[in-house]
Amino acid sequence: MECTDAELIVAPIRYPRNVNLDITITACFEITSHGTNVRTVVKAIAKASGIAVKKRQQTASALKKLNDNLRVLINQALNDDGVSLKEWLSRKTPNLDNVCCEKKNCAEKSCPAYMQKNCRCWLVAGTMCGGEIQGIFAKKYRSCTECEIYRDAVFADEITELEEHLIVLVHTLVCKQEEINSLAITDHLTGLYNRRYFDLLIPSEIESMLRNNGVIYITLIDIDDFKLINDKYGHLFGDKILKECAMILSGSTRKSDLLVRFGGDEFLIASSCSENDENSAKMMHQRILEKLEIWNVEHAYEGLELSLSLGCSVLKKGIGLETAINEADRRMYENKLINTRHTATHHRIK
């Protein structure tokens, strides 16, 4: 059936309500290409309508998936432990055809993103783009957004772009949360854990000890004559001594030991052991004294002989934490009295 251009203009073409303007335009192109055959026009409209419906279904599916992911994210964020958010991020793996080093012809094997498939290199701190360390995420993200690796992965479609922006936001929040948590449990001067972290962690350590029929050796360490050190050399030098002591103790403990700055010039080490393993604590104390002796030899030019007082007790079933700490404190001061008599004889602070 043929019709004139005038008849086509005045006769309305009916198509489904959910067909948008793009379909009409597509149909018009089809009319221009194939003449004014009505059957051709109807087929073109139907084809365009089907494409639009399919696209709309894909978009709806993608939005539903994103919405479901947001629900999971919110539920995990309410745990406020940082771990859940990391798990959520780890599951959101991008579909990258090429690793960045291949696409960039990069041979920096020291780069943390080197040969890492499906890796959001723009979120990885310390990448080596251009042969230089890029630093933390917040400082390099802006330059990364101008990179073709980022653009190819993020700007695939509007839904992907929205999801990737959400991932960047979550990653930023996780980094900030880790920074805040670290500041809350770390002594800013020595870099050791602080008393707050000890109070938070020790209950779970005690529970584990009771479950495994073990013990925890509590060792208190105090810097002898620390007030005199501050008075004679100044507080900045006193801060240096605190940091040096922290290094001595860190180098003398095991990875499984909990070392904290307990307060002022006092440090505490909690060592989990089996009930019959008394030698581990003694060996640790010996390592501390040996490293202290080495430090004094290396710093003899400063006119200071550093001395530490140690006291140890055993935390086990039937003995509470407060009792164990008080016992370690008592023994530490007994050791300090011995060191004080040594000071009177040898004049450690010259």
According to the model, what pLDDT value does residue 344 have? 44
Three-state DSSP class for residue 81: coil
**How far apart are the C-alpha atoms of 114 and 98, rounded to whole Å?**
12
- Say whether both 326 and 244 belong to one domain: yes
Beta carbons within 8 Å of 269's beta carbon, 6+ residues apart: 217, 218, 219, 221, 249, 253, 257, 258, 259, 260, 284
Q: What is the mean pLDDT of residues 282-302?
A: 90
Beta bridge partners of 258: 270
Residue ending a domain, choose from 185, 216, 236? 185
- Say whether both 267 and 308 belong to one domain: yes
Lowest-pLDDT range, 7-11, 149-153, 215-219?
Answer: 7-11
- When pLDDT is cut at 50, 70 and 90, the band that residue 222 belongs to is very high
According to the model, what pLDDT value does residue 136 have? 67
Q: Which residue did the predictor score with more confidence, 346 or 224?
A: 224
CA-CA distances (angstroms) from residue 137 to 56, 84, 118, 296?
Answer: 35, 20, 18, 42
Lowest-pLDDT range, 118-132, 173-187, 229-243, 303-317?
Answer: 118-132
Lowest-pLDDT range, 177-181, 227-231, 255-259, 289-293?
Answer: 177-181
Q: What sign has the CA pseudo-torsion 318, 323, 324, 327?
A: negative
According to the model, what pLDDT value does residue 1 have? 44
Cα angle for residues 17, 22, 23 (degrees, 5° grid): 55
Number of domains the chain is built from: 3
Side chain identity at 204, as an amino acid letter? S
- Say whether both 179 and 160 belong to one domain: yes
- Say whether both 273 and 341 belong to one domain: yes
* Percent of the chain with pLDDT strictly greater than 70: 67
- Say whether both 237 and 303 belong to one domain: yes
- Say whether both 92 and 200 belong to one domain: no
| pTM for the model | 0.63
Beta bridge partners of 161: none
Residue ending a domain, choose from 134, 165, 185? 185
- How many Cβ atoms from other residues are within 10 Å of residue 300's Cβ? 10
**How far apart are the C-alpha atoms of 83 and 194, rounded to whole Å?**
21
- Say whether both 10 and 108 belong to one domain: no
* Percent of the chain with pLDDT strictly greater than 90: 30
According to the model, what pLDDT value does residue 107 have? 72
pLDDT score of 180 more than 90: no
| Dihedrals phi, psi of 312, to nearest 5 degrees | -130, 145
**How far apart are the C-alpha atoms of 291 and 248, rounded to whole Å?**
6
Residue ending a domain, choose from 159, 185, 211? 185
Three-state DSSP class for residue 271: strand
Cβ(231)–Cβ(349) under 8 Å?
no
According to the model, what pLDDT value does residue 98 have? 56
Chain segment 101-132, per-residue pLDDT in tens:
777 777 777 787 677 766 777 777 777 776 66
pLDDT score of 12 more than 70: no
The DSSP element (H or E) to which 308 belongs, if any, is strand 308-315
| β-pairing verdict for 193-194 and 214-223 | unpaired
CA-CA distances (angstroms) from residue 305 to 189, 223, 243, 265, 343?
Answer: 22, 11, 16, 16, 10
Structural domain including 43 reads 5-74
According to the model, what pLDDT value does residue 84 have? 63
According to the model, what pLDDT value does residue 290 have? 94
Cβ(163)–Cβ(148) under 8 Å?
no
The whole-chain average pLDDT of the chain stands at 76
According to the model, what pLDDT value does residue 47 have? 66
CATH classification at residue 239: 3.30.70.270
Long-range pairs for 16-20 at CB < 8 Å and ≥24 separation? Answer: 16/49, 18/49, 18/52, 18/53, 18/56, 19/45, 19/48, 19/49, 19/52, 20/52
- CA dihedral (103, 107, 110, 112) in degrees, to 10, reads 10
Side chain identity at 210, as an amino acid letter? L
According to the model, what pLDDT value does residue 37 have? 59
- Say whether both 173 and 198 belong to one domain: no
- Say whether both 220 and 336 belong to one domain: yes
Cβ(262)–Cβ(220) under 8 Å?
yes
- Say whether both 215 and 159 belong to one domain: no
| Dihedrals phi, psi of 89, to nearest 5 degrees | -65, -40
Chain segment 21-48, per-residue pLDDT in tens:
454 545 455 445 545 555 665 566 666 6
